[in-house]
């Protein structure tokens, strides 16, 4: 029987896609004023579950109850009517219209049959203030940073009087300050009685924000536990075994410098960047979002131009702004924005994995098809890509599995120097370790890795040396073995004036 606090209940939910059962006999319940975390490996079924609640997927079997009464959620309108608002892993805003128009999309207040812009903007301003974000209702969505986009999504949810707010990996793209602000908003909504469903791969966020946790494994709800459950126990519930070594870095002897950057400067983005990565080394590039790390990576790789300075790969100067030359010289970049830059969504896993090897480096007209399939299978298995087969379209893979495909593509390309931009963002605890092991294998065989990461334990655990950037400059270098999170943070804040604490500054999402 349902308790008086119960908002929503799911019983025996099943959803299959061709070749995969995404949800199988899932139970879940949400109470008023609670934050309920959904935890599970990449592909466990988390996003599918919330898509059922938001009307994006129809379940094959099972029941959804709201306030104790069974409901059928056919589409987004049904969900909105029931007070269920969802913030997806990929945002749903329209880039070329204003913030206010996005918030009230399809429901603009009207006066004499015309959109009442004044009222719409005033109401939008009030909602934006409620979530505590400093954005003009008249700003175009295109120019906003990730954190601002998310706050606009939350404002939109509030405008729908949501009683259930669902957030799919909301913190994956936020800085720690932005995460704190998001948690403050969530705390306030919780006090107002809103039930929040929250997906994350960061276990420490569960203790910080959630009340209860439902763990999904292989599409089944395997545990309903309190948020005070120890992290290693949560991992065990998620992956069905314990992970003994989270950062398995083996530090080989560093060899010759493979990547050398001298005085690299691009006006308004980064200044005087000097760095060197040797064979066998992992150099971590730490800093706050907006410090310019992605911009440096893109310039080094030739994806963006720079004003002055020099890049050398294996001792030979690389022309600026020329990705083809970078590829031929043995440089690879795993971008942070995997959807926009790393993948062809409507191609198969195999085709995506072959993109680099079949591109500039393949011999004219000759494609070793069976060899390609075999290596695609091997790398997908090593990374544990969860898929129905290598012919599955990448669009229908779960978020974390898409990330594994981007990484796999570059591992297959066999670049001597690999730049990884937030390689484990959105990747589950078990798969992270697999990626770290592959990084170890790469460096053990003489490759060099430059790793941009905002995950401090990862930077400390997997780098050999750490360079820290703030406001477009390198503010210091640390030896990873005796560096601390505090030491990295103080360098990351080094040149940052105290005023710069707004929600601005998501880097590199400008869709090049």
Ligand X SMILES: Nc1ncnc2c1ncn2[C@@H]1O[C@H](COP(=O)(O)OP(=O)(O)OP(=O)(O)O)[C@@H](O)[C@H]1O
Interface residue list for ligand X (CB under 6 A): 17, 20, 22, 40, 42-48, 386-387, 396-401, 428
Considering CB distances under 5 to 8 angstroms, the limit depending on partner class, which of Mg ion, ligand X, none binds residue 29?
Answer: none
Site string for Mg ion, 10-49 (x = CB under 5 A): -------------------------------------x--
Question: For ligand X, which is the closer residue by CB, 180 or 391?
Answer: 391
| Separation CA 464–CA 247 (nearest Å) | 12
Please state the φ and ψ torsions of residue 222, each to the nearest 5 degrees.
-95, -15
Q: Which is nearer to ligand X, 45 or 287 (CB)?
A: 45
Cβ proximity to ligand X, 294 vs 401, nearer residue: 401
Burial of 477 (0-12, 13-18, 19+ CB in 10 A): middle
Residue count of the chain, please give it.
Answer: 512
Q: How far is the CB of 52 from ligand X (least distance, A)?
A: 10
Q: Determine the Cα–Cα distance for residues 451 and 298; give it in Å rounded to an integer.
A: 13
What HEC string does 53-117 produce? HCCCCCCCEEEEEECCEEECCCCHHHHHHCCEEEECCCCCCCCCCEHHHHHCCCCCCEECCEECH
Which residue has tokens 């790969």?
313
- 287 vs 400, which CB is nearer to ligand X? 400
Q: Which residue is nearest to Mg ion (CB)?
A: 47
CB 67 within 8 A of CB 7: yes
Look at residue 396 and give the partner it binds from ligand X, Mg ion, none, a contact being a CB closer than 5 to 8 Å depending on partner kind: ligand X
Instruction: Choose from Mg ion, ligand X, none: what does 48 bind? Cβ within 5-8 Å by kind.
Output: ligand X
Binding-site partner at residue 342 among Mg ion, ligand X, none, CB < 5 to 8 Å by type? none
Mark 386-425 with x for binding to Mg ion (rule: CB under 5 A) and - for no binding: ------------xx--------------------------
By C-beta, is 342 or 399 nearer to ligand X? 399
Angle (nearest 5°) at CA 291 between 183 and 464: 95
Least distance (Å) between residue 155 CB and ligand X:
24
423: partner contacted, choices Mg ion, ligand X, none (Cβ within 5-8 A by kind): none
> Is residue 215 a contact partner of residue 222, using CB atoms and an 8 Å limit?
yes
Residue 495, CB half-sphere, CA atoms under 13 Å: how many? 15
Least distance (Å) between residue 54 CB and Mg ion: 13
Rg (CA), the chain: 23
Contact residues for Mg ion (CB under 5 A)?
47, 398-399
């Amino acid at each position: 029987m349902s308790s008086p606090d119960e908002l929503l209940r799911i019983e025996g939910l099943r959803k299959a896609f061709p070749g995969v059962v995404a949800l199988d006999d899932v139970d879940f319940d949400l109470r008023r004023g609670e934050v309920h975390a959904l935890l599970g490996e990449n592909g466990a079924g988390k996003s599918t579950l919330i898509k059922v609640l938001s009307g994006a997927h129809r379940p094959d079997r099972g029941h959804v109850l709201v306030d104790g009464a069974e409901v059928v959620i056919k589409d987004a309108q049904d969900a909105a009517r029931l007070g269920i608002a969802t913030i997806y892993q990929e945002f749903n805003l329209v880039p070329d219209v204003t913030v206010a128009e996005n918030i009230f999309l399809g429901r603009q207040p009207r006066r004499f049959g015309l959109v009442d812009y004044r009222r719409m903007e005033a109401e939008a301003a009030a909602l934006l203030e409620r979530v505590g974000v400093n954005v003009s209702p008249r700003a175009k969505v295109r120019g906003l940073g990730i954190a601002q986009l998310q706050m606009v999504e939350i404002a939109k949810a509030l405008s729908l009087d949501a009683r259930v707010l669902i957030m799919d990996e909301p913190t994956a793209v936020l800085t720690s300050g932005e995460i704190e602000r998001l948690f403050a908003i969530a705390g306030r909504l919780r006090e107002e009685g809103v039930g929040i469903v929250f997906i994350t791969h960061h276990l420490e966020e569960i203790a910080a924000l959630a009340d209860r946790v439902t763990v999904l494994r292989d599409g089944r709800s395997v545990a309903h536990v309190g948020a005070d459950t120890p992290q290693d126990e949560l991992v065990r519930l998620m992956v069905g075994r314990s992970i003994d070594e989270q950062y398995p870095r083996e530090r080989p002897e560093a060899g010759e410098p493979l990547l050398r950057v001298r005085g690299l400067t691009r006006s308004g983005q980064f200044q005087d960047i000097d760095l060197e990565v040797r064979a066998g080394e992992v150099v971590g590039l730490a800093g706050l979002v907006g410090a310019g790390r992605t911009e440096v990576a893109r310039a080094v790789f030739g994806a963006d131009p720079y004003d002055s300075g020099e890049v050398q790969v294996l001792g030979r100067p690389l022309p600026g702004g020329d990705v083809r030359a970078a590829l031929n010289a043995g440089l690879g970049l795993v971008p942070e924005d995997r959807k926009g830059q790393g993948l062809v969504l409507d191609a198969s896993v195999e085709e995506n994995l072959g993109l680099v090897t079949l591109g500039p480096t393949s011999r004219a007209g000759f494609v070793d098809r069976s060899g390609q399939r075999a290596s695609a299978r091997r790398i997908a298995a090593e990374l544990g890509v969860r898929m129905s087969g290598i012919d599955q379209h990448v669009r229908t893979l779960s978020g974390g599995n898409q990330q594994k495909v981007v990484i796999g593509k570059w591992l297959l390309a066999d670049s001597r120097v690999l730049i990884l931009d937030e390689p484990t963002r959105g990747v589950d605890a078990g798969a992270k370790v697999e990626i770290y092991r592959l990084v170890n294998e790469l460096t053990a065989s003489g490759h060099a890795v430059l790793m941009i990461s905002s995950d401090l334990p990862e930077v400390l655990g997997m780098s050999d040396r750490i360079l820290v950037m703030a406001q477009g400059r390198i503010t210091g270098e640390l030896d990873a073995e005796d560096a601390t999170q505090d030491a990295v943070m103080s360098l990351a804040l080094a040149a940052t004036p105290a005023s710069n604490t707004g929600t601005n500054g998501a880097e590199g999402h400008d869709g090049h």
